Structure 1
């Protein structure tokens, strides 16, 4: 494998005063593991206020200017695979992808190939010389929507720095279970779930800062369509935050709760909800500063068909329910093999 090098710069926040250097840098450069950062420190790849520091245990004061010389292996061993990509924008520095549901971003355990990275290397062989084939942020396998990919190392460095400064705007559409009365902001740290390593959780101790701003777009009988703006970009952030608030995403296999429907919903609608087996989450808007032109650029991607159909069904359910008269004959849901938790009118807040 060949090595690629580029520098990342940042200012250590005063909130890190007294922390170990490796711990502070792991927060600043969260794309890299703490073990890797420790090794870079020991190898003399870190400069504080222009001075090389080789001690991971060094206590920071806050306010120091840090330069991290990143050394990464180019993606020479990842096979290129012909996988269709929906490229919504491309120039010499970046490309923007509208990722479909079911496409994993990086190869890993259980997904050795067939990923977005494999597709990118087939689409543009030159991306082998860019760490991670230019991928600077991720979407979960079954989350759809917009991702930016860097085509050069300088572009990648600039985009990573924007992400670290929370300067990249990412806005998501989602449908959650339950009637959310109003929008707001949730600022709860997220870390690995200690009892299930496949999941993340809100963790007061050991979690990383995670901030999500959300607003209500539309109410249904027992569901809500919302829009979420990320200030940070933690793994599963929206899914974890919404579940923590008691409004898990429709179809979320990890953070969802028991299947739940409004009373007297049409059996066909129940069946659709029952078989919606992915989180109803779409990265619909992306805004960033172009790494070369320095102009702010914005993109939007329409919601995929499955989410549009979900919303249409929930709207139609509201219309049908409002037209129903007293004495309506209820369906026998057991005939459909559906285990449900009935919601009465009294359970639905005004």
Structure 2
């Protein structure tokens, strides 16, 4: 389903000499630069009554701009009173600490009970923002920080900042194997060649970069701090599996549990019952999309990851750092 959008404005004189795509981005801040460029290339933009398909064409000021374009009509979802752990909120953005088990956006098999449904209840006006202001996602069982836009201008700026890699996201994780030091995984990610619902390192995929450093070493596991340069689907999970250090508990990419030799029954039971990827979005830093103020938030580890680290640390101490 699409709806027709019609916009009409005069180019302000102070935009003299700027390119058409730059002028439109300033005149219509509710729409992203990429969408504006699509409209220009599709002959949906008229300058003084003539279609203009050249984004770089210079404007003099005073031109009559008209845009007539089809845009996707947002699917409507129900508001639901689902509790949110709100870390920060103003009239432009919302930062939450997402729990494990909460799906971000409705999809096949998850039409309700999602973060989007919760956002519609918490802030009804967010229904007018595409995707209810969601600009990035966390997997269902990944915990931690997410930023949501409450207005279209805030969303436009956040999406552009994300694409320009101006938003810093750091994660904590526990992986299998003892790592000797930090590093960077720079491998493209795309759809798995045979299992189309999964992602994989794929030479035809999109560029993906993950930086990691060692926080703590255990006998047969490592606690990591990771920083994303890009935000591909399942990026950390795929990259860590690629370098043979999959995340503990990952039901898709992790394989079977790999306990250290002679582990106690308590640790064995904890590893068997850890049914989600041991991954937590611990830090988020960005420039406020409207004020430009640099903001930073931290979310403490959830109880299950605290218990996992405590058990692995106790096992390591008990066996005198006898790595396997």
TM-score, length of structure 2 as denominator length:
0.82
> How far apart are the structure 2 equivalents of 1:255 and 1:43?
45
Map of 2:83 onto structure 1: 84
> How far apart are the structure 2 equivalents of 1:74 and 1:199?
26
Map of 2:192 onto structure 1: 193
Map of 1:105 onto structure 2: 104
Q: Contact 1:73–1:131 (CA<8 Å) still a contact in 2?
A: no
Q: Contact 2:31–2:152 (CA<8 Å) still a contact in 1?
A: no
Q: 1:298 to 1:281 in 2, by over 3 A?
A: same
Q: 1:302 to 1:200 in 2, by over 3 A?
A: same
Q: CA RMSD of the aligned region, Å? A: 2.5
Q: Contact 2:175–2:223 (CA<8 Å) still a contact in 1?
A: yes
> How far apart are the structure 2 equivalents of 1:285 and 1:269?
28
Map of 1:315 onto structure 2: 313
Map of 1:7 onto structure 2: 31
Q: Where in structure 2 are the equivalents of 1:171-250 lying within 5 Å?
A: 171-204=170-203, 206-250=204-248
The alpha-carbon deviation at position 95 of structure 1 amounts to 0.5
Q: Contact 1:190–1:200 (CA<8 Å) still a contact in 2?
A: yes
Q: Where in structure 2 are the equivalents of 1:1-350 lying within 5 Å?
A: 6-9=30-33, 42=42, 44=44, 48-50=55-57, 71-74=71-74, 77-204=76-203, 206-322=204-320, 348=324
The alignment of Structure 1 onto Structure 2 pairs a total of residues equal to 283
The alpha-carbon deviation at position 38 of structure 1 amounts to 7.9
Where structure 2 has 5 or more consecutive residues not aligned to the other structure, the ranges are 6-27, 46-52, 59-68
| SS of corresponding position for 2:320 | helix
The alpha-carbon deviation at position 7 of structure 1 amounts to 2.8
Q: Contact 2:40–2:55 (CA<8 Å) still a contact in 1?
A: no
Q: Contact 2:87–2:97 (CA<8 Å) still a contact in 1?
A: yes
Where structure 1 has 5 or more consecutive residues not aligned to the other structure, the ranges are 11-24, 30-36, 52-68, 324-344
Q: Contact 1:143–1:282 (CA<8 Å) still a contact in 2?
A: yes
Q: Contact 1:93–1:150 (CA<8 Å) still a contact in 2?
A: yes
Q: 1:262 to 1:83 in 2, by over 3 A?
A: same
Map of 2:17 onto structure 1: none
Q: Contact 2:145–2:282 (CA<8 Å) still a contact in 1?
A: yes
> How far apart are the structure 1 equivalents of 2:42 and 2:215?
50
| SS of corresponding position for 1:97 | strand
Residues 244-269 of structure 1, C-alpha deviation per residue, up to 9 Å, x if partnerless?
00000000011012221111110111
> How far apart are the structure 1 equivalents of 2:127 and 2:320?
57
Map of 2:19 onto structure 1: none
Residues 64-88 of structure 1, C-alpha deviation per residue, up to 9 Å, x if partnerless?
xxxxx8934345x200111110011
| SS of corresponding position for 2:97 | strand
Residues 77-119 of structure 1, C-alpha deviation per residue, up to 9 Å, x if partnerless?
2001111100110001001010000000000011111100000
The alpha-carbon deviation at position 292 of structure 1 amounts to 1.4
> How far apart are the structure 1 equivalents of 2:70 and 2:244?
40
The alpha-carbon deviation at position 123 of structure 1 amounts to 0.6
The alpha-carbon deviation at position 142 of structure 1 amounts to 0.2
Residues 277-326 of structure 1, C-alpha deviation per residue, up to 9 Å, x if partnerless?
00000000000010111011000000100000000000011122229xxx
